[in-house]
Structure 1
Amino acid sequence: MTPRNASLALPAAGLALCAGLFAAASARALPEDRQQPVNLVADRAELNQNTGVAVYEGNVVVTQGTMRLTGDKVIVYTKNGEFERMESFGKPTTFKQKPAADKEEMFGEALRLDYSATTGVVVATTKAKVTQAKDVFTGDRIEYDVNKDIVRAQGKPNERVQIILQPRPEGGTAPAAPAKPQAGTPAQPKK
């Protein structure tokens, strides 16, 4: 029995499937992330070498470099020793990662996250929300195609998707800071 919140020592096949999972999921992340070790912490784990299914339960936290996934339950599926897909459940299950050195961190949450290594698509369902900087996507289902860098969102029947995109400064640079009064010059009151 694994003590509560103990790091799990995984057999070679378990390490391979976790490494495959995060190498695939971080294909568009910082290059340094792919070189970092995968660390998985859970209250309980069961790895079935015959079926290729690994189930992690209770306060699951998976990290690799800037990537962090949390959930109440994470299921990883492999076939012939190769990672195929992953499901994460929680109230909510969360995901965050810095996609590139020049990009803001991406945050995602939903009651369920699914990732397919075959298609390269991450699907967040039920109360899904994806945030990057101040841009926010909300809907019942949000898909992110890692390979094509495409986001698709949809709501429940009779519900709409909400997308909030903040304006970008011209030239892609940060907005200029307001001018500061010079020493000895009183600041002008706001009108």
Structure 2
Amino acid sequence: MMRPPSGLLTKLAPLGLAIATVVTTPALALEGDAEAPVEVVADQLDLDDSAGTAVYSGDVEIQQGSMQLTGDRVEIQRNAEGQLTRATANGERAYIEQQPSPDDPLVRGWGRTVIYHVAERRVELIDRAELHQGGDTFDGAYLEYFLDRRVVQARSESEGIEDRQRVRMTLQPEN
């Protein structure tokens, strides 16, 4: 991951505690991910503590342990207790990756919009959506992945998307 210029790091340092309370959660993580430091790199941050939102823009990279979320713009929402409730990344190819457990393959997803719902442990990939888990791949206009159940739901159409994007999948045989 790219390191921010020292001036940017200094500006973001006072926000470290706020960011940690927003992003730190065991919901989408290896056991040690929740204790890992949160690293955020962006060109701009608009933080509204009373609303519980942080909006990062400009080549945003967020990493905590094995979880990585990138996009042109990432909005993080948290509840009154400071817990992350939803993270939404937007961009030409917004991206999320996570190692769910040491025995599971890496899960990687792309879309013009990536929404992670923390309490539900659910990821939505919208518009030119693509999901890879091990050798299995799924593509479509809309993909929904339930982490705990390892369930994928795919659709060729999604609200707000003009072009139909047929669902495609490749499943590797089990050994």
Q: TM-score, normalised by structure 1?
A: 0.76
Matches within 5 A, 1:25-104: 25-26=28-29, 30-80=30-80, 81-104=82-105
Give the match for residue 12 of structure 1. 17
Structure 1: state its 5+ residue gaps.
170-191
Counterparts of 1:53 and 1:134, CA distance in 2: 36
Counterparts of 1:57 and 1:154, CA distance in 2: 29
Give the match for residue 162 of structure 1. 168
Please list the CA deviations of residues 59-93 of structure 1 after superposition, one character each: whole Å capped at 9, or x if unmatched.
Answer: 11111122211111000112213322111101101
Please list the CA deviations of residues 128-183 of structure 1 after superposition, one character each: whole Å capped at 9, or x if unmatched.
Answer: 001122210001111112233321111128653111001122xxxxxxxxxxxxxx
Counterparts of 1:55 and 1:4, CA distance in 2: 21
- Give the percent of matched residue pairs that are identical in Structure 1 and Structure 2: 31
CA gap of 1:149–1:112, structure 2 versus 1, over 3 A, is: same
Counterparts of 2:6 and 2:114, CA distance in 1: 24
Counterparts of 2:95 and 2:7, CA distance in 1: 18
Give the match for residue 125 of structure 2. 124
CA gap of 1:84–1:24, structure 2 versus 1, over 3 A, is: same
Deviation at 1:120, TM superposition (A): 2.4
Q: TM-score, normalised by structure 2?
A: 0.82
Checking the alignment, whether the CA contact within 8 Å between 1:96 and 1:107 is kept in structure 2 is: yes
Checking the alignment, whether the CA contact within 8 Å between 2:24 and 2:83 is kept in structure 1 is: no
Counterparts of 1:130 and 1:165, CA distance in 2: 12
Give the match for residue 24 of structure 1. 27
Deviation at 1:122, TM superposition (A): 1.0
SS in 1 for 2:143: strand
Checking the alignment, whether the CA contact within 8 Å between 2:28 and 2:100 is kept in structure 1 is: no
Give the residue type in structure 1 aligned to 2:34.
R
Checking the alignment, whether the CA contact within 8 Å between 1:5 and 1:43 is kept in structure 2 is: no
Checking the alignment, whether the CA contact within 8 Å between 2:19 and 2:38 is kept in structure 1 is: no
Counterparts of 1:151 and 1:135, CA distance in 2: 11
Please list the CA deviations of residues 26-75 of structure 1 after superposition, one character each: whole Å capped at 9, or x if unmatched.
Answer: 2xxx2222331111111111111121111001111111122211111000
Checking the alignment, whether the CA contact within 8 Å between 1:62 and 1:69 is kept in structure 2 is: yes
